[in-house]
Chains A and B, each alone.
Chain A
Amino acid sequence: MKNYELIEHTADVGIRVKAEDLKGLFENSAAAMFDIIACRVNAQSSCQSKEIIIKLESEDLEELFVTWLNELLSLSSAKELIFYDFKINKIDRNMLQAIVAGEEMKNYKVNAEIKAATYHQLKLEETSSGWQAEVIFDV
């Protein structure tokens, strides 16, 4: 089952994501974003997976969240990879360290182009059961 919901927006598309903790929230949001972008079609193919270390700093949590998603979009486009595995090793409100794994695009069917994650109506909330995020993408 998908661990996110789509939010309706006239021109664009948004997601609502939940997780138990902040690490999970960042990981699930990244997974949701790439779930919108592409789906794997070539499950059998043995293709090389590439791991990339990401370190980010920012002024606050919202900026960290948007920067994280945009860094992944940017890397995906520059390196021509689709990311499928996200592991946040360290996170606080101003920084994160992560290792992400991606594969060449040829094993995927690309469904949508996301230009960027935006700050518009961005929500990051601590809830009784963990964390929830809402973010709108420019598609």
Chain B
Amino acid sequence: MSETQQVPLEKIDDYRWRIPKSYKPGMRVPGLVYADEKLLKDIYKDKALEQVANVAFLPGIVKASLAMPDIHWGYGFPIGGVAATDIENGGVVSPGGVGFDINCGVRMLKTNFQYEEIKNKLKDLVYTLFSDIPSGLGSKGDIRVSEREEKEILLKGSKWAVEKGYGSEDDLECTEENGAIQGADPSGVSQRAYERGKAQSGTLGSGNHFLEVQVIDQLYDREACDALGLDLGQVSIMIHSGSRGFGYQVCDDYTRSMIHCLQKYNINVPDRQLASAPVNSAEGQAYLGAMRCAANYAWANRQCLMHLTRKVFERVFAMSWQKMGMFLIYDVAHNIAKIEKHIVDGKEKLLCVHRKGATRAFGPGHSALPERYKKIGQPVIIPGDMGRNSYLLVGTKKAEEETFGSACHGAGRVKSRTASTRTTDLNTLLKELESKGIIVKASGRGTLVEEAPQAYKDVNDVVDVVANAGISKRVCRMRPVGVIKG
């Protein structure tokens, strides 16, 4: 695509590239792309860099429009983008900077099992997980709630689930924002959003959402692994899901209303999907209040999914989940806007940090971290594709200084879903996964070929960049052995 090849990139070092502010009149800050030469080849294939430049138009944006190495072409914002706006200086919030799947995120829990101990029961385990955990498009769960209860979910997030008996207090401590971001305002949520959310609590969804049984296959930081109770060959679980139809509706409702804000607040952006309003405006506050409801809905959802997972393990192995050591390592959001304090030009500022396909990555000692992670830094969970690896990293001080405490969120797509479907043969794919010892169950055959490993960048390359740039530190790597796809 010739248009994208014209986006100029100035090399800062091997892992950092700048899109100069002069590239497009209207850019308020430069673009800053975290990538190496290898990943740049893929990044150049679509229009993601153009989108990084477009995000730099947002009023109040500070430092730079950031792109993580897993960046790819989104709609409006790129996926893998971070943008922070200065609230006191007219900084805006944009629903497009969060996305439709508000608080799409991932959680990782460990077990006491070594792979060899469960190997023979793996098939049974994967099939039971698949049958007990609602997945697929429009999937509906057994956890049905009344509208009054749904409102409670929007305020309490994961805590609602824990109070219902779906988990423990400990889980809350190991969840970003303790599983409930403050400032949620259910009065700004439309009736339709309630309706869409009612049946979908405790459901995985479809597309790139998944539940994986994984095995730790490499350790990078022995001290951090010891602190987390992780070792080679140990079985862990990863759950990737979001706020389902509830979040889509909130985003849709507010994108529409914010398009009208562009004129009202004289905001000039090159793409309507970047519609935004000042954080300090009635519209901005209303969106944030509703977005937080969706974020809490998503945390409750992942908490329910983890509960269902623990129940399946209990059935298959006839042991309590506590005895199997199925404790939550951490849960991170990777589609969200947060109000956070960061240092900009030597001064502490209150910023609205949009992470769209990016993970918070606070370093050791940060006040937002629970006591147990103060020493090692915040766990950063990076899912890869179903055939290769996933990573557990920790955040760094450098991330706080450079990227508003953010890192990548996954491998990042490189092939469109249609191209992947066209070029992937389902049987070949299944054989390939089987030869690697990976058992897969999916609701739709379509999802499998769309989500084939070839459709993604190699997560190892992506993590190399964030580690080498110093914005996160590797703790350990996992490989999948059981995959449940929506």
Q: Chain A residues in contact with chain B, CB under 8 A? A: 6, 8-13, 37, 59, 62-63, 67, 70, 73-74, 77-78, 80, 105, 110-113, 115-116, 118-122, 136, 138-139
- In the complex, whether B100 has a CB less than 8 A from a CB of chain A is yes
User: Are B138 and A8 in contact (CB-based, < 8 A)?
Assistant: no
Residues of B within 8 A of A67 (CB): 256
Known: A78-B195, A113-B205. Contact between A12 and B75, CB under 8 A? yes
User: Are B138 and A110 in contact (CB-based, < 8 A)?
Assistant: yes
Residues of A within 8 A of B137 (CB): 37, 110-113
Q: Chain B residues in contact with chain A, CB under 8 A? A: 45-46, 48, 72-76, 79, 99-101, 136-138, 192, 195-196, 199, 205-207, 245, 248-249, 251-252, 255-256, 259-260, 271-273, 275, 413-419, 444, 446, 486
User: Are B248 and A6 in contact (CB-based, < 8 A)?
Assistant: no
Q: Which of A62, A122, A136, A138 has the most CB of B within 10 A?
A: A138
Q: Could you count the A-B residue pairs with CB atoms below 8 Å apart for me: how many are there? A: 106
Residues of B within 8 A of A78 (CB): 192, 195-196, 245
Closest residue of A by beta carbon distance from B194: A78
Known: A116-B248, A120-B271. Contact between A63 and B195, CB under 8 A? no
Find A74's partner among B249, B275, B486 (CB 8 Å cutoff).
B249
Beyond known contacts A10-B73, A11-B413, A113-B207: 16 more, CB 8 A cutoff: A8-B418, A10-B416, A12-B75, A37-B137, A70-B252, A70-B256, A77-B248, A110-B138, A113-B138, A116-B251, A118-B75, A118-B273, A119-B76, A119-B271, A138-B75, A139-B207
Nearest 4 pairs between A and B by C-beta? A120-B75, A119-B272, A118-B75, A78-B195
User: Are A13 and B413 in contact (CB-based, < 8 A)?
Assistant: no
Residues of A within 8 A of B74 (CB): 11-12, 120
User: Are B46 and A10 in contact (CB-based, < 8 A)?
Assistant: yes
Find B446's partner among A9, A62, A74, A112 (CB 8 Å cutoff).
A112
Q: How far is the CA of A28 from the CA of B117 in the complex (A)?
A: 55
The minimal Cβ–Cβ distance linking A44 to chain B, given in whole angstroms, is: 23
Residues of A within 8 A of B195 (CB): 78
Find A118's partner among B76, B206, B249 (CB 8 Å cutoff).
B76
User: Are A74 and B206 in contact (CB-based, < 8 A)?
Assistant: no
User: Are A138 and B73 in contact (CB-based, < 8 A)?
Assistant: no
Residues of B within 8 A of A62 (CB): 272
User: Are A10 and B72 in contact (CB-based, < 8 A)?
Assistant: yes
Known: A13-B417, A118-B76, A120-B75. Contact between A111 and B100, CB under 8 A? no
User: Are B415 and A80 in contact (CB-based, < 8 A)?
Assistant: no
Known: A74-B196, A110-B137. Contact between A63 and B256, CB under 8 A? yes
User: Are A8 and B419 in contact (CB-based, < 8 A)?
Assistant: yes
Residues of A within 8 A of B415 (CB): 10
Residues of A within 8 A of B417 (CB): 12-13, 112, 139
Residues of A within 8 A of B199 (CB): 80
Q: How far is the CA of A62 from the CA of B273 in the complex (A)?
A: 12
Residues of B within 8 A of A105 (CB): 138
Q: How far is the CA of A122 from the CA of B196 in the complex (A)?
A: 26
The minimal Cβ–Cβ distance linking B268 to chain A, given in whole angstroms, is: 15
The minimal Cβ–Cβ distance linking A79 to chain B, given in whole angstroms, is: 8
Known: A10-B46, A13-B416, A59-B260. Contact between A122 and B73, CB under 8 A? no
User: Are A111 and B419 in contact (CB-based, < 8 A)?
Assistant: no
Find A9's partner among B99, B256, B272, B416 (CB 8 Å cutoff).
B416
